[in-house]
Amino acid sequence: MADARQEVRTEMAKARAELGSDNLSLDQGLHFGKDGKRKSAGKDSLPAAQITPKGDFLVDGKAVAINPQQRQQLLDYRGQVIELARVGIDGGELAAMAALDATDVSLFSLIVGGLSGSLERRVEASVKQHVEPLVRQICQRLPQVLESQQQLATSLPQFQPYATLERGDIDECERDLRNEFATR
């Protein structure tokens, strides 16, 4: 189990590092909810778009002309999205560790726990205790991200097709949080 824990930590650290150094891809937009997908009315044919760590806005690999205010808006938006992703990675790591902790028992205990349902209850309790606050953070930060996205779309017309976060996504995040972490 120690190897599995170390592998999880290593992979999550790698993912966190890539967030800060890689371009932020906007192609799939921001979507929340159970499947994270929404019908994209004609958006499948959009050229690839990215925000670089320096605040450049690239569409189809080419830099879009921006002014200093737009660069700052791009950097602010990028930072907010990356922070959401980091919180998500933290939640994923905690959930993986909770599952590893719950199954780090003797084979006999694992079988009995699986048959009696106590293993599932232990994993659920641990996930609820550690992951729910992180999911709540994501939901609570979405209105700020939406506002930043809308300001950027107003300021930089080329960004508009990639501004996919909607108020309904925020509502769905909150609804899913209530449903998924309701006391069972």
pLDDT at 11 over 60: yes
* Contact (Cβ atoms closer than 8 angstroms) between residue 30 and residue 49: no
pTM: 0.78
Which residue in this structure is represented by tokens 């967030």?
Answer: 19
- Dihedral over alpha carbons 12, 15, 20, 21 (to 10 degrees): 140
Q: What is the CA radius of gyration of the chain?
A: 20
pLDDT at 35 over 80: no
* Contact (Cβ atoms closer than 8 angstroms) between residue 120 and residue 30: no
Share of the chain above pLDDT 90, in %: 46
Poorest-pLDDT segment among 42-46, 55-59, 121-125: 42-46
Token pair of 30 as six digits: 């921001």
* Mean pLDDT, residues 121-140: 81
* Mean pLDDT, residues 151-157: 97
Residue 124, pLDDT score: 72
| Nearest residue to 53 via CA among 96, 88, 24, 94 | 24
- Dihedral over alpha carbons 5, 81, 48, 56 (to 10 degrees): -120
- Distance (Å, rounded) from C-alpha 87 to C-alpha 133? 10
Provide the edge-to-edge strand list for the sheet that holds 62-63. 24-25, 49-51, 57-59, 62-63
- Distance (Å, rounded) from C-alpha 86 to C-alpha 138? 10
Question: pLDDT category, 19, cuts 50, 70, 90?
Answer: confident
- Distance (Å, rounded) from C-alpha 93 to C-alpha 7? 11
